[in-house]
Every structure is written in C-alpha cells, then in structure tokens.
Chains A and B, each alone.
Chain A
Amino acid sequence: KAGVTQTPRYLIKTRGQQVTLSCSPISGHRSVSWYQQTPGQGLQFLFEYFSETQRNKGNFPGRFSGRQFSNSRSEMNVSTLELGDSALYLCASTSLASSPNEQFFGPGTRLTVL
C-alpha cells in the first residue's frame, strides 16, 4: 500500500499571500489530521476531517482552513500568511478499523514565509 503523500514538499511564500497544501491518505483511510510542527513547539493539532466533515479543530486562527474530498484527499489552506506560519505541516491518516486508531504520517510540507 502506498503511504501518505503530501504535495508540495517545499514552498516559499511571502507575507500576505495564501497557500494550499495537499494530502493523500493511505487507501481506505477516511480520517485525515493536520499538524503544524515548529522547533520547540512540537506538533500542534490543526484539524481533523472524516468523510468530508471537520470533526475536530485545534486552537488556530480562522486563516487556517481545510477540506476533504469524497476520495478522502484533503487540502489545507492558509490565507494572509504571516512570518510565524513558517513550519513543517504534517498530515496523518487513520484507519478507524484499527484499534487503537493509529496515525500514519506523511513526509510533510516545509513552508517558508518571507
């Protein structure tokens, strides 16, 4: 089975721009979670999607949004980029058929905001 894929792997944007990141989960996984990873902060939970619906949301401003498509692929959008948004964004997919619901991570998208 192919693993979780994320595109693009690297992005450079300037302040004020917006960006869209994409995540394709493992085939059959219907839950997709997004995390922001920064040095010293670890992984901060952004949101989780299941069957095209956002189920959980972390404590991030409304500039961060996401969606999930019928094929379980997910996108994350950040509008009006700020310097502090520079981070590694990780996507994880989960098979709800497994117990516990283990998360499988993608390689991440490294976003740099200049």
Chain B
Amino acid sequence: AQTVTQSQPEMSVQEAETVTLSCTYDTSESNYYLFWYKQPPSRQMILVIRQEAYKQQNATENRFSVNFQKAAKSFSLKISDSQLGDTAMYFCAFMKYFVKGNQFYFGTGTSLTVIP
C-alpha cells in the first residue's frame, strides 16, 4: 500500500522568508504523480504544484518549487518570499494509476503560518 508522510504537523515562517515543507512516500510503483495541495482557512483545497515521477526536472510554479528525490522517495515543497496568503494547511499527495482509474493518497498535512 502507498503511504505518504508529512513529519511536520506545524510550521511558521516570517513574511518574505523561505520555508520548506517535507514529504516522503512509500511505493513500489515506478510511474506516478506527486502533488502539493493548499487548504486555506476557508477550506477550499487547491492545487499548488505537481510533479511527474518520470521527469527528473523539479517542478516550479512562481514562488513554489519542489525538490523531488525519486530514489529517496522525497518530495519537499519550497515556498519563497512567503506571503500572508500562504497561511494554510498543505497536503502532499501521491497518485498512482489503476486499471480502473487513479487513486490518490494524502499525507496528514502541515499547518503553515506566515507571521507578519
């Protein structure tokens, strides 16, 4: 079974600073996708960034970037120039392909607070 581990339940960062959220996963699959989702206090979950396992290049979306280490099964999220609006719960997710469809596995989340 796939498992996703986020070992940092809570983190805080000063506004404009950089913070890294960690995520590790366990799988025997070779082809899969990894995601970071953000859930602000309003609760609507939104996609932050995604990474295809077959791509060695780390994904980047504006101030968000990942450090994908496939051999180590690690997928960390770096947020640069943190803003107050980045305060949210962040979930790491793993998606594998099923013959019958795809299935997502989520970590327990990291609550990030950006301090003004």
Contacts and interface: CB of A to CB of B under 8 A. Distances in A.
Interface of A: 3, 31, 33, 35, 40-45, 48, 50, 55-56, 88, 90, 92, 94, 100-108
Instruction: Give 4 nearest A-B pairs by CB, closest first.
Output: A105-B45, A42-B108, A43-B106, A55-B101
Nearest to A31: B101
Q: Is the interface of A mostly helix, strand, loop or mixed?
A: strand
Contacts, number: 58
A41 B37 CA distance: 15
B47 to A, nearest CB: 6
Interface residues of B, number: 27
Interface of B: 4, 6, 9, 33, 37, 42-47, 50, 52, 91, 93, 95, 98, 100-109
Contacts of B102: 94, 100-101
B105 A45 contact: yes
Contacts of B50: 100, 102
A105 B101 contact: no
A43 B45 CA distance: 11
Contact of A103 (B44, B98, B104, B105): B104
Contacts of A104: 47
B45 A33 contact: no
A107 B44 contact: yes
